[in-house]
Amino acid sequence: MFKGSFVALVTPHRSDGSIDEKGFRELIEFQIQRGTHGIVPCGCTGEAATMTHDEQKRMIKIAVETVNKRVPVIAGAGSNNTVEAIDLTKFAKKSGADGALSITPYYNKPTPEGQYRHYASIAKAVDIPIMLYNVPSRTGISISPETVARLSEIDNIVAIKEASGSLDQVNQIISLCDIVVLSGDDSLTLPMMACGAKGVVSVAANIVPSDMANLVNYALNENFEEARSIHKRLTPLFKALFIETNPIPVKTALSLMNKIERQWRLPLCEMTSVNLQKLRQVLQDAELI
């Protein structure tokens, strides 16, 4: 199940700050029709940090119902509060999600033992496949390969979204255990897969789902020549989507493609005019607008 191109799906908002549920369903259909292997709602790209728990649960429920078992749904259900993470993960299980994405506790900066106990508590409380999420640029702390290997001994901790930006980290994890590694960085998907990763949880897939699915499919089949060709073509897009804090650029791109309104929840806001022009040019060069 944890193999392929999984989209880290954005959450569309209206000008009054409410969530555009109809637009959210349409984005899911856009993804499935274009070959995305799985849907990941309510992660960092989905702005879960500014959702209430009721909103987060609502979006997970909508995602599961809309997908209707056509592809896996891996629900964002993490928190820096272990009790809250367990509650969200229980809801993901109850809603019918196929798995849960659980971010490393942010701000608290737990020790490796604290990280282990956090994840072990979630896994013990909820019988659902769990994908760890290592993103030190957001959390302020990284999961060591040794802690990942220790966690992988728990039956339902089966994958990790690795967004440390380090190929050494990926190589160490793969050498220590057999947990499934997915890239958390679009630009590193190909090199990570060359090291043994099985796919990506992708921001870029929001706007180029077919290309990301094809890149991953080629790499899984060890057709690295074709995978490199797609990677090279998409590299300017990968860079442009992180010219400002994610998901500001990707939601801007989707708005330029007439798929969502150009709205965020504070403290995120619109791009600067200079960066907007840079993004627009990349999208035009890629014939996306």
- Domains of the chain, by residue range, sit at 4-221
| pLDDT at position 1 | 80
Q: CB of 40 within 8 A of CB of 201?
A: yes
| pLDDT at position 175 | 96
Non-local CB neighbours of 233 within 8 Å, separated by 6+ positions: 211, 286
Within 13 Å of residue 133, how many CA atoms lie on the same side as its CB?
32
DSSP 3-state of 240: helix
CA angle 163, 10, 68 (to 5 degrees): 105
Q: Which residues pair with 101 in a beta bridge?
A: 76, 131
- Residues present in the chain in total: 289
> How distant, in Å, are the alpha carbons of 16, 38, 177, 189, 206 from that of 196?
44, 19, 12, 10, 24
Between CA 39 and CA 87 the distance in angstroms is: 21
Encoding tokens for residue 239? 């860079």
DSSP 3-state of 242: coil
> Which residues participate in catalysis according to the annotation?
133, 161
| pLDDT at position 113 | 97
Spell out, as residue ranges, where the chain has pLDDT lower than 50.
Answer: none
Fold of 4-221: TIM Barrel (3.20.20)
